Structure formats: structure tokens, C-alpha cells
Amino acid sequence: MTFGLGASHYGMNISDKTILITGANRGIGQALLNEALARGAKRVYAGMRTVVEHSDPRVTPLALDVTNVDDIQRAAAQIAELDLLINNAGIAKYDDLTRSTLIEEHFDVNFFGVFRMTQAFLPHLKRSKGAIINNLSLVALAPLPVIPSYAISKAAALNMTQSFRALLKADGVSVHASILGPIDTEMNRGLDIPKATTASAAQGIYDGLSREEEEIFPDPSSQQIAEGWRNGVAKALEHEFSAFVPATAAADVF
Ligand SMILES: NC(=O)c1ccc[n+]([C@@H]2O[C@H](COP(=O)([O-])OP(=O)(O)OC[C@H]3O[C@@H](n4cnc5c(N)ncnc54)[C@H](OP(=O)(O)O)[C@@H]3O)[C@@H](O)[C@H]2O)c1
């Protein structure tokens, strides 16, 4: 079962599309870059804090720290057209909710990073009637209390993703959350649990986009709860509450 919003551009096939990925230098971001190239993307802007050149001429590396407004504005000015923004950059640190600074640190990247990038690239995405994918986590749905600040930031980012989904519907921009389970990267190196490969996660994310899924569950762990999420009370409430947003484009109303 899918939960597309009905417009013809949904279910994006990334072949021949222009894509921007944050945190594209390693981990899941790098796998999303490679998979985009394999699927025939026209151009991939690879956001990185430390720029590394790429051998494929379709890749344009960008100096892009998602906490740095100047970096973001420069990137937005440099890019003329964009079909898909993937907010992938993220941080996760162990904590016990004793330091507010650590909550702020997580929010700066995992929440406000997504917010800043979305705002900066909305004009591009409205023009192309494009899509946004936010890389979130199972811990957005229930906290893993050894990384509570991370979980809180991802839960807030999921809630924001759902609001953007409703607010941007009339503009023709689709907004997706990728609800990732454990993937084999530096981020969870200390966790001794089964992990999916970055390549399979990247494939799952693009496959979910092409199937018009609001929440994409791209790996074996997350897939276990996909049906429960889609048929659950939180999803029903999201759809019910989204009806409060006027059907005309937000810019015409506010
Ligand atoms: N791995 C998992 O099991 C898992 C599970 C659920 C969700 N996720 C999510 O998936 C995304 C990618 O995670 P990953 O596992 O690939 O992590 P990773 O291997 O630790 O890579 C994190 C990436 O984010 C970048 N980054 C961090 N802070 C940034 C900033 N301020 N500006 C721009 N880029 C920044 C890093 O760049 P540098 O190289 O410069 O540090 C790196 O490219 C994250 O949002 C994460 O929360 C991962």
C-alpha cells in the first residue's frame, strides 16, 4: 500500500533528475550519491564539509555545512535547478539528557540543518515541482534512551517533515521521511547489532520515492514496522490534521 498525494509528478524516478545530497562524502550520503549516478541522474550536487573532487563529471562537489547560513546561501545561488533535495547530514552522540548543549548541538544539524536547507531550496523545488527526502530514523518514532538527544532531534524533524508535506502539497512539492534502521556506517560503529549495507539503504530510499511513499522504510529492520506505521493512529491523525491547511499554495494565503 502507498500513500501518495495524488499529483502526477509523485513517484519520482531519479533518472535524468538533478539532486542535492547533504553529507555526501561518506556513509549513507555517499551511497545515495553512487546510487543516483547508477540510476542515471543528470546532475548530483554533493554537499560536503570538506570538499573532495569526484571522477564522474555529473557530480558537482559543494562546500556545505548545514549549520552555516553562508554556505547554504552560496549553494542556493550556485544551483539553478533542482528536482530532489536529500537532507542526509546528521550527527549522533551518546548522552543521558544531562546537558542542554548536546541537545542544541543535535538540533543545529539534525533539525535546523533540515529546516535551513528546505527554506533555501524551496524556490527551486517549487519551480520543478520536486521532492524532499529527509533521512530520519526509527528512533524518531520511539526513543533509544542511550542517544536521547539524537532521538529528540529526529522526532522533531519527523514532525517538521509532516508539516512541510501538508504545507507544500499545493505547491506540488512532495516531502518524504526516510525512516532508517541500523545501517553499517561510522555513526553506529559501537553498536553490535545486525546492520544493513549503505548501498541497500540507498536503493531502498530511491525505490520508496518511486513508490510515492510518504514514509520510506528502506531496510529490513525498518520494514518490520512499515505496515503498522501506515495503518496506525499517528498516520491517521496526520492526514486528519493536514486537512486544516488551505488547498491553495501557502504563499497565496500567508
Ligand atoms: N547509520 C545508521 O544506522 C542510521 C540510522 C538511522 C538514521 N541515520 C541517518 O542517516 C544520515 C546519514 O547517517 P550515516 O550513518 O551515513 O552517518 P555518518 O557515516 O556518520 O555520516 C554523517 C554525514 O553527515 C555529515 N555531517 C555531519 N554534520 C554535518 C554538518 N554540520 N554539515 C554537513 N554535513 C554534516 C558528515 O560529514 P563529515 O564527514 O564532515 O563529518 C557525514 O557526511 C543521518 O542523518 C543519520 O541520522 C543513520
Does residue 88 surpass a pLDDT of 80? yes
Give nearest CA residue, ligand 1 atom 10.
135
**Kind of pairing, strands 131-137 and 84-87?**
parallel
Answer for the pair 106, 149: CB distance below 8 angstroms, yes or no: yes
CB distance 185 to ligand 1 below 6 Å = yes
Q: What is the pLDDT of residue 253?
A: 45
> 167-206, pLDDT tens digit by residue?
999 999 999 999 999 999 999 998 899 999 999 999 999 9
Query: 144: how many CB neighbours lie within 10 A of its CB?
Result: 14
Answer for the pair 32, 86: CB distance below 8 angstroms, yes or no: yes
Does residue 3 surpass a pLDDT of 60? no
CB distance 118 to ligand 1 below 6 Å = no
Q: Return the bridge partners of 216, or none.
A: 178
Q: Give the chain's domains with CATH numbers.
A: 18-253 (3.40.50.720)
CB distance 197 to ligand 1 below 6 Å = no
**Distance from the CA of 171 to the center of ligand 1, in angstroms?**
29
Q: What is the pLDDT of residue 254?
A: 44
Q: What is the pLDDT of residue 12?
A: 93
Band of residue 249 on the pLDDT scale cut at 50, 70, 90: low
Which of 20, 21, 22, 28 has most ligand 1 atoms within 8 Å of CB, for mutation?
Answer: 28
From start to end of the chain, where are the E strands?
Answer: 18-21, 43-48, 59-63, 84-87, 131-137, 174-180, 215-216
Q: What is the pLDDT of residue 247?
A: 85
CB distance 134 to ligand 1 below 6 Å = no
CA 145 to chain centre: 23
Given the C-alpha cell 531519479, which residue does it identify? 14
Give nearest CA residue, ligand 1 atom 46.
90
**Distance from the CA of 52 to the center of ligand 1, in angstroms?**
16
Band of residue 252 on the pLDDT scale cut at 50, 70, 90: low
Rounded alpha-carbon distances, angstroms, from residue 46 to 49, 85, 87, 89: 10, 11, 11, 11
**Distance from the CA of 106 to the center of ligand 1, in angstroms?**
11
Between CA 106 and CA 113 the distance in angstroms is 10
Could you tell me which of 200, 196, 191, 199 has the C-alpha nearest to residue 221?
A: 196
Answer for the pair 36, 88: CB distance below 8 angstroms, yes or no: no
Could you tell me which of 86, 100, 124, 125 has the C-alpha nearest to residue 208?
A: 86
Does residue 5 surpass a pLDDT of 90? no
pLDDT averaged over the chain? 94
Could you tell me which of 95, 91, 94 has the C-alpha nearest to residue 109?
A: 91
Amino acid at 91: I
